[in-house]
Structure 1
Amino acid sequence: MSSPALARAVVAPLVLGVAALLLWQVGVTALDVQPFVLPSPLAIGAEFAQNAGSVLAGSRVTGGNALIGLVAGAVLAVLVAGVSALVRVFDGLTAAIVAAAAVVPIVALAPVLYTMFGANVETARQLVAALAVFVPVYVNTLRGLRQAAPVHRDLMRAYAASPWQTARTITLPGAVPFFFTGLRIASSLAVISALVAEYFGGPIGGLGKSITSAASGSDYALAYAYVLGAVLVGLVFYCVTAGLEALALRRSHAR
């Protein structure tokens, strides 16, 4: 990406964000909106600064669970997608399971997992995040594995290439952009799922628990400060996956 294009990609969202915050602050002040309805950005920022240590601690818990779920769900999705691309019968069997997994509500799954694994461990939260990650990564990876044109496969057969050589040369490089598309979507879902799962039980800690605690104590600015922490965690996940995608595609094109 050229420098002007990069500048536009960075500056434009920043300008829009600052304008939205200014409008928010002016609107809350001018309309005398009560904090329990919507705190002002300045109040949220002050709470965020005063409780930075607590926000960071909660972010580590939520981010750690989301990261474990992201890695586990993505690895499982790639493995299942690889088998589905090779074995049509297996693809038919997994299609119904994936469709069911896509519509499982977190609010129903989290309490069940807490009952199964106990409320004193993080396993349930990690499994919820992994399930949320699995579907988009699986669907996009499977689509990518099937993108190879038949003429390219025929050409590899004409050269007497082995199945592994065909996969390494044609199938896998073509699937990489699709995999990272699914991973970028899943990175945000992992954070959201881990956060929501914290509302329904589990160990003390995490941004979800902190938001609930602050809101129940009528400290709404602090609750929004924890929400801001969750937003930052989600942005970190998204930016890291986007950076990995850019690096992988650059290396792929270099070859």
Structure 2
Amino acid sequence: MTTAVDPVAAGRVTRPRLPITDVRWSTVVAPLALGALVIVGWELLVNAADIKPFVLPAPSAIWEQITGNTANIVDGSVVTGRNALIGMLGGAVVGVIGAALAGSFRLIDQMAAPVVAALAVIPIVALAPVLYSMFGAAVNTGRIIVAGISVAVPVYLNTLRGIRQVRAVHRDLMTAYAAGPLQVIRAVTLPTATPYVFTGLRVASSLAVIAALIAEYFGGPIGGLGKSITSSAASSNYPLAWAYVSGAIVLGLLFYVVTLLVELWFSRHHKPA
């Protein structure tokens, strides 16, 4: 008697899952303790060596500016974060689709390789002014495109690497069971490539914030952390400039943590059968 075999289940690849509950307190306490020591040492060094604010302001002076300008920092973070988020989502979609096409068609892979290499080395300081000239300095389009390009490259490369990890034996098995293209993608390709996609997104999440922030230095609408940093530095209010830099750091960490939480949630709720 022959037992029916589900080709989807037969070709399914086990995907590594990140632990969620097995988190040691040391992974949280150790970085916080190190950060506290760095801040204390920073404060002592500035006071003992009488370092001028334009060289390195004291953490206490920066904190005073943060507490006194919280609303402005939040407003600037919203502007920069919105541009980074739109660019990140758009760049991720382009990167995943491009990698899927390159992984399916060798000709597209060969044609895309030099394009991706060129995009990876484009300096933001040169690209942002050009985009402002193309789309106008009164809109955020240029900033979003800069963030999108910064995201698309690592997502594309990581996704393509994940697709190439699919073993030929699994593809042959799916072919033997007459599985359709969608079944192959759902049972083999996606489970194998998903961890690599999230790795690319985690790397790109911080890059999106950095790209959007740097693009604000070279024009565009008023608003955003980058504009605030340059304005504060130009008026010689260096502690305020560092306060906006602190806001950018928090924003970048927020993007990274949210991306990591989405990855953990996905790995938990999409367990392979």
Q: For the superposition of Structure 1 and Structure 2, which TM-score range results when normalised by the shorter chain?
A: over 0.9
Per the TM alignment, residue 214 of structure 1 is displaced from its structure 2 partner at its CA by 0.3
Per the TM alignment, residue 52 of structure 1 is displaced from its structure 2 partner at its CA by 0.2
Residue 76 (1) aligns with residue 76 (2): no
Letter in 1 for 2:90: A
Residue 54 (1) aligns with residue 72 (2): yes
Regions of 4+ moved over 2 Å: 1-6, 251-255
Query: What is the aligned partner in structure 1 of residue 54 from structure 2?
Result: 36
Letter in 2 for 1:168: R
Of 138, 149, 160, 1:131 maps to 149
Per the TM alignment, residue 251 of structure 1 is displaced from its structure 2 partner at its CA by 2.3
Q: Secondary structure at the match of 2:23?
A: helix
Letter in 2 for 1:7: W
Letter in 1 for 2:162: G
Of 159, 165, 169, 1:151 maps to 169
Q: Against the structure 1 CA distance between its residues 2 and 132, is the aligned structure 2 distance closer, same or farther, given a 3 Å change threshold?
A: closer
Per the TM alignment, residue 254 of structure 1 is displaced from its structure 2 partner at its CA by 5.5
Q: Secondary structure at the match of 1:5?
A: coil
Query: What is the aligned partner in structure 2 of residue 9 from structure 1?
Result: 27
Residues 96-135 of structure 1: matches in 2 within 5 Å? 96-135=114-153
Residues 192-231 of structure 1: matches in 2 within 5 Å? 192-231=210-249
Q: Secondary structure at the match of 2:271?
A: helix
User: Which structure 1 segments of 5+ residues have no match?
Assistant: none
**Greater CA drift, 195-204 or 6-15:** 6-15
Letter in 2 for 1:206: G
Q: Against the structure 1 CA distance between its residues 254 and 156, is the aligned structure 2 distance closer, same or farther, given a 3 Å change threshold?
A: closer
Distance 1:174 1:220 in 2: 48
Q: Are the counterparts in 2 of residues 58 and 206 from structure 1 also a CA contact under 8 Å? A: yes
Per the TM alignment, residue 253 of structure 1 is displaced from its structure 2 partner at its CA by 2.8
Q: Against the structure 1 CA distance between its residues 4 and 141, is the aligned structure 2 distance closer, same or farther, given a 3 Å change threshold?
A: closer
Q: What TM-score, normalized by structure 1, do the two folds share?
A: 0.97
Of 88, 101, 105, 2:106 maps to 88
Per the TM alignment, residue 160 of structure 1 is displaced from its structure 2 partner at its CA by 1.7
Per the TM alignment, residue 156 of structure 1 is displaced from its structure 2 partner at its CA by 1.4
Number of corresponding residues: 255
Q: Which of structures 1 and 2 has the bigger CA Rg?
A: 2
Query: What is the aligned partner in structure 2 of residue 173 from structure 1?
Result: 191
- Write 1 or 2 for the structure with the bigger share of helix: 1
Letter in 2 for 1:248: F
**Greater CA drift, 26-35 or 158-167:** 158-167
Distance 1:254 1:159 in 2: 19
1:107-139 Cα distance to aligned partner (Å, 9 max, x none):
000000000011000000000000110100000
**Greater CA drift, 67-76 or 5-14:** 5-14
Per the TM alignment, residue 89 of structure 1 is displaced from its structure 2 partner at its CA by 0.4
Q: Are the counterparts in 1 of residues 20 and 264 from structure 2 also a CA contact under 8 Å? A: no
Q: Secondary structure at the match of 2:25?
A: helix
1:140-198 Cα distance to aligned partner (Å, 9 max, x none):
00111111111111111222211211110111011000000000010000000000000
Q: Are the counterparts in 1 of residues 62 and 239 from structure 2 also a CA contact under 8 Å? A: yes
Q: What TM-score, normalized by structure 2, do the two folds share?
A: 0.91
User: Which structure 2 segments of 5+ residues have no match?
Assistant: 1-18
Residues 234-245 of structure 1: matches in 2 within 5 Å? 234-245=252-263
Query: What is the aligned partner in structure 2 of residue 22 from structure 1?
Result: 40
Q: Which has the higher contact order (CA 8 A, sep 6+)?
A: 2
Letter in 2 for 1:103: V
Distance 2:141 2:223 in 1: 14
Query: What is the aligned partner in structure 2 of residue 161 from structure 1?
Result: 179
Residue 249 (1) aligns with residue 270 (2): no
Residue 233 (1) aligns with residue 231 (2): no
Query: What is the aligned partner in structure 1 of residue 85 from structure 2?
Result: 67
Q: CA RMSD in A?
A: 1.2
